[in-house]
Amino acid sequence: MAEEVKNPWTTLSTKPVYKNPWISVREDQVINPKGGNGIYGVVSFKNKAIGIIPLDEENNTYLIGQYRYSLNEYSWEIPMGGGPVEKDILESARRELKEETGFTAAKWTKVCRLHTSNSVTDEEGFVFLAQDLTAGETEFEETEDLQIKKIPFYKAVEMVMRDEITDAISVAGILKVARLLGL
C-alpha cells in the first residue's frame, strides 16, 4: 500500500480554460512547495486510457499503426482507446479490442495501471493482456485510419527497445507482459 503523503501544494484558485468532448484544461493559481506563487496548468481527461495486448496461441501479437496528429508522425502501438470514466475498464477493453482488431478474447488479465504524463495531466491508463482470441470483423471509428500488423511478441519487445514503439502505454504494457512471460 502506498504511503500517505501530505500535499505540499496550496491551490488558491482554479480557472477553466478550454474543454472539448475528450479533455478539459484548467489553470490553477498555486503556492508551490517552497512557498512561492505560481501557476499550474492541468489537462483532465474524460476517459480512461485503455490498452490491450492481444496474444495468440503462437505468442504473436497485433500492433496498430496510425498517423498521430498531435505528434505529426506515424506510430505503431498496441490496440487502445478511451473508456468512459463511469464504465467498467474491462468492458471498455473488450470494446476497443473488437473495434481495432476484430478479435474477442476468452481470457483477460489486467497487466498494469499507469499515469501517462503525471506532471501535466490526470490521465489514468490500464493495460490488459487478451488471450484465447477469436477472429472477427473490425469496427473502426470515423477518426481511425488504421493498419494491423501481426508479429511475434518478442519482435514487439525489440521494437520498444529500438524506439520504434514510443507510445507510453504501449511501452509499459509490452515490457510488463514480457516480464510476466519471462522474456
Instruction: Convert the pLDDT of each residue in 77-125 to its tens digit.
Output: 999 999 998 899 999 999 999 999 999 999 999 999 999 999 999 999 9
Which of these, 78, 48, 67, lies nearest to 167 by C-alpha position?
78
Cα–Cα distance measured from residue 65 to residue 132, given in angstroms and rounded to the nearest whole number: 23
What is the per-residue pLDDT for 23? 94
Say how many Å lie between the first and final Cα of the chain, rounded: 28
Which of these, 12, 123, 129, 120, lies nearest to 78 by C-alpha position?
129
Question: Same domain for 28 and 87?
Answer: no
Cα 14 to chain centroid distance, Å, stands at 27
Query: How far lies 21's CA from each of 29, 38, 46, in Å?
Result: 25, 28, 7
What is the per-residue pLDDT for 145? 78
Given a cut of 70, the residues of the chain with pLDDT beneath it are 1-2, 140-144
5 domain-assigned: no
Instruction: Kindly report each contact of residues 12-19 with a partner whose C-beta sits within 8 Å and lies 24 or more positions away, as own/partner.
Output: 17/41
Return the beta strands (E) in the chain as ranges: 10-19, 23-31, 37-45, 47-54, 60-68, 73-77, 80-84, 104-115, 124-134, 147-152
Q: In a 3-state reduction of DSSP, which class is residue 178?
A: helix
For residue 128, the enclosing domain spans 47-180
**Cell numbers 502506498: residue:** 2
Question: Same domain for 24 and 62?
Answer: no
Question: Same domain for 87 and 119?
Answer: yes
Question: Same domain for 126 and 68?
Answer: yes
Question: Same domain for 87 and 34?
Answer: no
What is the per-residue pLDDT for 139? 75
Stated pTM of the model: 0.90
